[in-house]
Copies of this chain bind each other. A is one copy, B any other.
Amino acid sequence: MNVLWIMADQLRFDYLSCYGAKHIDTPNLDWLAGQGVRFNRAYVQSPICGPSRMSAYTGRYPRSHGATWNGFPLPVGEITLGDHLRELGVSCSLVGKTHMTADKDGMSRLGIDPSSPIGARVAECGFDVVIRDDGTNHSDSTSRHAEDYDAYLRAYGMDGDNPWEEWANTGVAPDGSLRSGWYLENAPLPARVPKEHSETAWLTTRGIEFIERQGDDPWLCHLSYIKPHWPYLVPAPYNDMYAAADLPPVNRSDVEHVDEHPLMAAWRQTRMCRSFSRPEVRDVVGPVYMGLIKELDDQLGRLFAFLRDSGRMEDTMVVFCSDHGDNMGDHWLGEKDLFYDCSARMPLIVYDPRKSADTTRGSAPEDLVEMIDLVPTFIDFFGGAQKPHQIEGRSLAPLLAGESTDWRDYCVSEYDYATRDARRMVGVDQSQAKLTMIFDGRWKYTHVEHFRPMLFDLETDPNELTDLGGNPDYADQITRLSDLHFDWARKHHNRVTRSADQVEAMTDGKEPPGIFIAYKDADELAADGLSLTPKRQLRSAN
């Protein structure tokens, strides 16, 4: 058995036709959803690349692993999916993006050589790297991982100091001039790189080749696409396949400015939100975003055809998800970062090849699922024991098998805005720039340190336009959800070195061997079935 874990970046759940999108057709992902389970209420644990992925790869919340924003190293010592899988004899390989930043200080402190086999894995979040590429490969990037794609482009005659920049991130204007993909106005231009050699096509081929190379030993492959994350540029014919008229109406309202939360007021003033609130930006970028998604679906079609033809659909669990969404002008916002569904809710499709999953094929349950459920699901799939002392997510196995189970009542997501402009705009300290979402399937509550909370009722307000967080009529709801937040905050999350079985054995044992507390005399000791006579000899007297 194997796992192919596919992740897209910045893909909104509602831009897939299987999730109800009417403006775009994604037949290949729809097909996968028909073969498996499409989780309709799946949420990431932080709506931004870095911490979302660190959570995804550890099965732990950001408050637990501590890599709470992009570029924050994952502390050495955090146990990763790769660690769990290798214990089970399963390899864990990366083809694409992780956004991992190595804890160099920690590795140095513990004497872990990054060029050793262990060190290489620690530096790469537990993965054995086939390809590491995070996209956004401008020459000044301090985390540029484009060697493989650059070499590939050069091999196909697309040379330059920075082939990614000059071919994949450069558009061709009608007059033949070259334009940068960083500028939103250039989004509709065809990328200079032909579609056969786009990042998405290239990565798909690398994934297929990886799978082809595998033998009988079980493997997990994390095929981690860069798109549709910006730069928003895509080769023909995807660049102008869609137009502004194809976009869904933007989801925003002046109502959102009424009694506006102070943090939201500041956030909406940031440059990127003002930029994406401009119709001329959304109208130009949105269709290209759709084109990138269409390209991805087409390439997944190629991948899924390979899986079918090669027999991998018999023995490989196939998972598709995204690390977060894209506001794309909704709520007067750009980018991601916040907890609206367009940002924090992710598409999640799980194809489980086992017979036990036959009863759920094509279903779309409403159970609240967290990204961090994937690590324990994979461990379970490969026959490993659950580790609730180390992993905070839950195995999806019962849901995949259609078994009734006691599932979670609320899901959690977090956001650390300490490094964002908005923090200074609202005058909050680094340690206080924290948001925590508690969503129970209807009520989406956001605790905002230092300010009033935000609250949306997704039953009566599915578009999340009316923030009830400052409305005294909802005080009881807020108290209830705040209590859930407190419950979650109190849970053990660092007690990782003793499993439940070990704790139970210690409780059975009362005291460790050789410890005798509060016994008045030999009779009391004997009454507890103990004896001072050593069971083992240390060394004889001289």
On whether the beta carbons of B536 and A139 are closer than 8 Å, the reply is: yes
B66, B497, B535: the one contacting A494 at CB < 8 Å is B66
* CB of A31 closer than 8 Å to a CB of B: no
Bound Cα distance from A73 to B502, whole angstroms: 12
List, in ascending order, chain B residues with CB within 8 A of A74's CB.
497
Interface flags, A119-137, vs B, CB<8A=1, else 0: 1001000000000000011
| Contact A420-B507, Cβ < 8 Å, known A75-B77, A77-B106, A532-B182 | yes
Bound Cα distance from A298 to B280, whole angstroms: 83
* CB of A240 closer than 8 Å to a CB of B: no
| Contact A419-B497, Cβ < 8 Å, known A110-B76, A111-B116 | no
- A505, closest chain B residue (CB): B419
On whether the beta carbons of A75 and B494 are closer than 8 Å, the reply is: yes
B78, B491, B513: the one contacting A77 at CB < 8 Å is B78
- A72, closest chain B residue (CB): B498
B79, B144, B161, B520: the one contacting A281 at CB < 8 Å is B520
* CB of A65 closer than 8 Å to a CB of B: yes
Interface residues in A429-454 (C-beta closer than 8 Å to B): 430-431, 434, 436, 447, 449
- A107, closest chain B residue (CB): B110
| Contact A184-B520, Cβ < 8 Å, known A110-B110, A110-B112 | yes
B142, B486, B506: the one contacting A489 at CB < 8 Å is B486
Which one, A208-216, A249-257, A268-276, A458-466, is touching chain B?
A268-276
| Contact A500-B430, Cβ < 8 Å, known A180-B532, A518-B276, A519-B183 | yes
List, in ascending order, chain B residues with CB within 8 A of A77's CB.
75-78, 106, 110
* CB of A160 closer than 8 Å to a CB of B: yes
B137, B141, B436, B528: the one contacting A512 at CB < 8 Å is B141
Stoichiometry (number of copies): 2
In the complex, 18 of the A-B residue pairs with CB atoms within 8 angstroms, ordered by the A residue number, are: A65-B494, A66-B492, A68-B492, A75-B496, A111-B119, A139-B538, A140-B514, A140-B534, A143-B512, A159-B542, A160-B541, A161-B534, A185-B521, A335-B518, A420-B507, A424-B507, A430-B500, A494-B494
B118, B183, B494, B521: the one contacting A520 at CB < 8 Å is B183
Interface size range on A against B = 35 or more
Contacts A138-B534, A183-B519, A489-B490 known; 5 new A-B pairs at CB < 8 A:
A138-B515, A161-B541, A430-B504, A434-B490, A434-B492
Interface residues in A312-367 (C-beta closer than 8 Å to B): 334-335
B162, B388, B430, B497: the one contacting A73 at CB < 8 Å is B497
Bound Cα distance from A504 to B510, whole angstroms: 49
* CB of A14 closer than 8 Å to a CB of B: no
Bound Cα distance from A13 to B238, whole angstroms: 75
Nearest-neighbour CB distance to chain B for A488, whole angstroms, equals 9
Nearest-neighbour CB distance to chain B for A331, whole angstroms, equals 15
Bound Cα distance from A490 to B284, whole angstroms: 41
List, in ascending order, chain B residues with CB within 8 A of A436's CB.
490
Bound Cα distance from A505 to B160, whole angstroms: 32
Bound Cα distance from A409 to B64, whole angstroms: 26
List, in ascending order, chain B residues with CB within 8 A of A418's CB.
503, 507
* CB of A421 closer than 8 Å to a CB of B: yes
Nearest-neighbour CB distance to chain B for A100, whole angstroms, equals 12
